[in-house]
Amino acid sequence: MLKKTLLTLLAVLMTANVALAGKTIVIAHDATWPPMEFVNKDKQIVGYSVDYTDAIAKELGLTIEHKNVAWDGIFAGLANDKYDMISSSVSITEERKAKYDFSEPYFEVKQAVMLPVASEAKSLADLKGKTIGGQIGTTGVFVAKKDGGVTPKEFDEVGHAVEALYTGRIDAAICDDVTAYDYVLNNEKYAGKLKVAFIVESDQKEYYGFVVKKGNKELVDLLNKGIKAIQEKGIEKALREKWVGK
Amino acid sequence: MTVEKKEIRIAVTDGMLIPSSKDKTLVSAWMISLCIAIGSILYLCISQPQPYYEILKFLPDGILVTFQVTITSILVTIPIGLITGLGRLSKNKVINLIASTYVEIIRGIPLLVQLFFLYYALGKFIQLSDLASAVIAMSVCYGAYMGEVFRAGIDAIDKGQTEAARSLGFNSRQTMMLVVLPQAWRTILPPVGNEFIALLKDSSLISVLAVSELFRRGREYASVTFEYFEAYLMVALIYLCITLLLSKAVSIMEAKLNYYDEQ
């Protein structure tokens, strides 16, 4: 009996790994990062990355499924095969590249610091000794930590950091520029109260990429093919106008 | 022999001698657990200093914050629990109603929701420091549970004790303080110890307030290095060590109280 169970289990495990073709590709998003991926009033996961992956799937004839996952542990879930890829505004960094594989970049971002409108700080140096909030494990927090002069405070979600800034618990908040602009321009509550004060200058350009498990070359190739097709057909430009503006 | 025994009795009633536990077995579950926990930490740190020792070096300030929050909350919780428990037993209808309403409302809302409410929702009206919000939420929540423990313990004392004390001329406050509570404490202590341990473990929930306690420190480490298994294993083992020490402290107190029973 035990032998039989083990054999069945083994068979299931082996078939689970076989080929992506025909299989649904499950995409994990941390849907708390407007306008890239967030949950709208109709409880749907929407945003630039969501439309982007949908467009790729349409181009290549893939079936995909979107899944909302908490950011803290999103990489662990990929390593444990809970889903096939992450599309969650993940910036391509050397540390992450060492552990996971990335697709070609599909979006460029910079780190933006949000402050109350009345504040006059113009750089991280002006915020010396102040607390700066960000989402745990994001490039924004890494930048804040690297600087050394400010005290980083790592929240579960970027929205919590923005709320903490709004209520005055922290002195500044840091995140990707598109998201920061979305909070200060499109969010009714924060518009006029908070501002994007400055962009943290960096010698290295920062890009988003789709993340897959190390060694999943098949999926990376597929994604790169899709990204290329979308860029060439001008779909990327249309999506940019729809979600980001400019 | 008899003489010797008498001497010990006198010493104990004077409070000079710390009574040892009656349990003379060499191996206890507590000891095995602690050995496993400490042994695993040492083994991991020595056999694989990278990453385990690195993680251990990253955590101490988090442990300190966890201790701070837990100890402060425990100290605040005891009086809240006592007052609530007495309030629930009070014959004064208003006091009774206030205490009961407090217990019903707080017990019905998960601690995590209370934490979010106090920190993010109430942040609009009052600004509390991170640690203050954490301690207030923890002690208000656990005060309600503790109130029920106190109520049950006090309720369990035979009515005859109160009657006897009153007929000896004690007033109701003296009866409660000198007769009922000292006896109730023995029934109350084990569940109270339970609540302390639960409180310590639930202090990991305050990590959502971005307070750098033990669990958040582990998450911060994992978020940079992606060593989730290693970081959370270490955090779990450290929590285990701390709770084991706390449970030992409670059981020593219990042994002291029960010593007089076994004479």
Asked if B217 reaches chain A (Cβ–Cβ under 8 Å), the answer is: no
> What gap in Å lies between CA B226 and CA A73, rounded to an integer?
9
ipTM attached to this prediction: 0.78
The DSSP annotation for A126-165 comes to GGTT-EEEEETTSHHHHHHHHH-SSEEEEESSHHHHHHHH
> What gap in Å lies between CA B78 and CA B185, rounded to an integer?
12
Report whether pLDDT(A12) > 80.
Answer: no
Residue in chain B lying closest to A77 (CA): B228
> What gap in Å lies between CA A172 and CA A150, rounded to an integer?
10
pLDDT (tens, 9 = 90+) of chain B, 263 residues, equals 444 544 444 444 444 455 555 556 667 899 999 999 999 999 999 999 989 999 999 999 999 999 999 999 999 999 999 999 999 999 999 999 999 999 999 999 999 999 999 998 887 788 888 899 999 999 999 999 999 999 999 999 998 999 999 999 999 889 998 999 888 988 899 999 999 999 999 999 999 998 999 999 999 999 888 899 999 999 999 999 999 999 999 888 888 877 666 55
Interface residue of A102, A132, A160, A171 to substitute, partner B, most B CBs within 10 Å: A160
Residue in chain A lying closest to B124 (CA): A167
Length of chain B: 263
Burial class (CB in 10 A: 0-12, 13-18, 19+), A39: middle
Residues of A with CB under 8 A from a CB of B: 72-73, 75-76, 79, 95-96, 99, 133, 136-137, 142, 153-156, 160-161, 163-164, 167-169
Residue in chain A lying closest to B133 (CA): A169
The reply to whether residue B223 touches residue A137, judged by beta carbons under 8 angstroms, is yes
Residue pLDDT, tens place only, B69-98: 999 999 999 999 999 999 999 999 999 999
Q: Are strands A37-39 and A45-46 parallel, antiparallel or unpaired?
A: antiparallel
The reply to whether residue B210 touches residue A133, judged by beta carbons under 8 angstroms, is yes
Percent of chain B at pLDDT > 90 equals: 68
Asked if B223 reaches chain A (Cβ–Cβ under 8 Å), the answer is: yes
Asked if B186 reaches chain A (Cβ–Cβ under 8 Å), the answer is: no
Shortest Cα distance, chain B CAs vs residue A30, angstroms: 14
